[in-house]
Homo-oligomer: A and B are copies of this chain.
């Protein structure tokens, strides 16, 4: 747990982490007193943290009701995956145009190094690499607002694609798709990079569809 910032900020990070990592499942109730006890604070900072998490879209709040970890409808989940694909495509396009030489090199190295994880079938480690890889794309776009949007969207999607690399053959496929994106970026081919990134997310979307909850 990061020790910077105010109590509320720490709680926001902690709770967001628990949601994103699946420690708390979608649909779970978050009542204020329990959280207050758990974090050893009063209800006031808890309420502020919940308000912020609500604004982030990670939990849903209604008047006089406990906060509930967002359990998006299938339709909304689909819209998020589609938006994610569009955002990734934007990042890939802009990255192809704007990445510095160092950024390009680092992206390629990161990608090349990951082949080892694919062969080893190291799901956990590959997942970490995958996060890092995509973050490089987001940063490479050199657009702070796009970065914020794509980061937030990814956080909200996280609970729904946890097990994606457990699916057989997904690791190798992911690696191959990353390769296509990297190649396009190295050639500064924005259109190709965008398309590769778009279809990459589309495929992840299909792989995750299993975990969606039925519409309300």
Contact = CB atoms under 8 A, between A and B. Distances in A.
A51 interface: yes
Given A6-B63, A63-B6, A146 B47 contact: no
Counting every copy of the chain, the complex holds: 2
A108 interface: no
Interface footprint category on A = 20 to 34
Closest 5 CB pairs of A and B: A55-B55, A83-B145, A79-B145, A79-B143, A80-B145
Contacts of A56: 55
Given A44-B44, A47-B48, A48-B47, A144 B76 contact: yes
Contacts of A149: 83, 149, 153
A152 to B, nearest CB: 9
A32 interface: no
A79 B56 CA distance: 20
Nearest to A144: B79
A146 B63 contact: no
A60 to B, nearest CB: 14
Contacts of A63: 5-6
14 contacts: A8-B51, A51-B51, A52-B55, A55-B56, A57-B148, A76-B145, A79-B143, A79-B144, A79-B146, A82-B143, A83-B143, A86-B90, A145-B153, A149-B149
A75 interface: yes
